[in-house]
Amino acid sequence: MNMDFEPDFTPEYAPFRAEVRAFLHDKLPASLRHKVLHGLRLNKDDFVLWQRILHAHGWGAPNWPLQYGGTSWNAVQQAIFDEECARAGAPRQLPFGLKMLAPVLMRFGTETQRKTLLPGIVSGDVWWCQGYSEPGAGSDLASLKTRAVRDGDDYIVTGQKTWTTLGQYADWMFCLVRTDTAAKPQQGISFLLIDMRSPGVSVRPIITLDGEHEVNEVWLDAVRVPVANRIGDENQGWTIAKYLLGHERSNIAGVGIAKRELSRLKDLVARESNPGRTLQDDPLFASRIAQLEIDLLALEITQLRMLQREDPPGPESSMLKVLGSELQQRVAELLMHAAGHRALSFEFQTPDSGNKDEDESGRLAAQYANWRKLSIFGGSNEIQNGILARALGL
């Protein structure tokens, strides 16, 4: 039975979907499409190129209102756009500026901050990274120790951040710092914007299991940060952090990417065969694919319902994060299973691999290893389940 279903994508949205597909056909560079669809490594230039192409077309910020340079698309249009981009093999738009910092600026920033910072985000000219986690403060974020001490019109910031995704490319970091050590943990935190070129900032790579330099340690050694770079009031950072995390966790759901990888799984299953029998004929494996597809459909509909709400993401974003991360991990596991022994080669990507059409099975193991992190970042799934339990009064 064909389980393909487009929730609420009624005929009125058919022209919009056709417009998005035509744009992707005409404007998505073949080199980027090849890299994404073959699981190859993307570099900074790839992400920036795609963001600038989108911005030139007026689609650089699908989730922003028109007044700030966005599209003012509704929830269904945003979902269609995300799905079509993933299906076509477009790089994922980096969320740090577009979907994390930007909503914070629109809600808590000054008009000067919005006018100064939002244009560089949507154009792709300014790369942002996130300074939340620390060696002793990950899911327990309120225990962070990076300190900011007021010195006239500046803060002097000292401490360490870790798991800073793509921080090696970043121009700026939005960062949580402790500005009051006497207050309760959640009440003594502020939200600062730090120029990564400032004296005292150093970035050190963390190489993950798949051989990727995706995350980093960031050391802050008496970094001078203007008070004007604070978002919101001093010690209001925890409120801002929770608001930002609601947007981050909703984004982790990754419905479009999961649907693309599910399609990839079906293609792989159709190609793979054992003597006299294909995986398609294995009722147990078929049932796992069917259950994955059903669960993905449920997640898609749930996310669409939440996007249509006028209120900002709340505790329900934790549900999207938990379900979305687990679904992506499940499809990565099934891809490994379908590839069988050929996935065990665990191929590391080489600089020229983007120009080859070699068998990609070995890279499935690298993807599987990398995606184990999905249930941890943005707040571990165990923490998210606790948030949901408290929201339900359990």
> Among all residues, which ones are annotated catalytic?
248
Tokens of 270: 């159709």
Going by C-alpha positions, the residue among 109, 375, 111 that lies closest to residue 244 is 109
**Rounded distance between C-alpha atoms, residue 246 and residue 44, angstroms:** 26
> Measuring CA to CA, how many Å separate 185 from each of 24, 181, 233, 267?
47, 8, 16, 50
Task: Provide the pairing of β-strand 277-278 with 213-226.
Answer: unpaired
Q: Report the run of H or E that residue 136 belongs to, with start and end.
A: none
Tokens of 196: 């990564």
SS3 content of the chain, % helix, strand, coil (to 5): 55, 15, 30
Task: Provide the pairing of β-strand 128-131 with 172-178.
Answer: parallel
Tokens of 12: 């009125």
What interhelical angle do 237-252 and 283-307 show, nearest 10? 140
User: What does the buried/exposed string (b/e) look like for 240-270 if buried means 16 or more CB atoms within 10 Å of the residue's CB?
Assistant: bbbbbbbbbbbbbbbbbbbbbbbebbeebbe
> Measuring CA to CA, how many Å separate 301 from each of 129, 252, 255, 261, 296?
30, 15, 10, 18, 9
Are 335 and 364 spatial neighbours (Cβ–Cβ below 8 Å)? yes
**Rounded distance between C-alpha atoms, residue 386 and residue 365, angstroms:** 31
**Rounded distance between C-alpha atoms, residue 344 and residue 85, angstroms:** 30
């689609």: which residue's tokens?
A: 59
Three-state DSSP class for 273?
Answer: strand
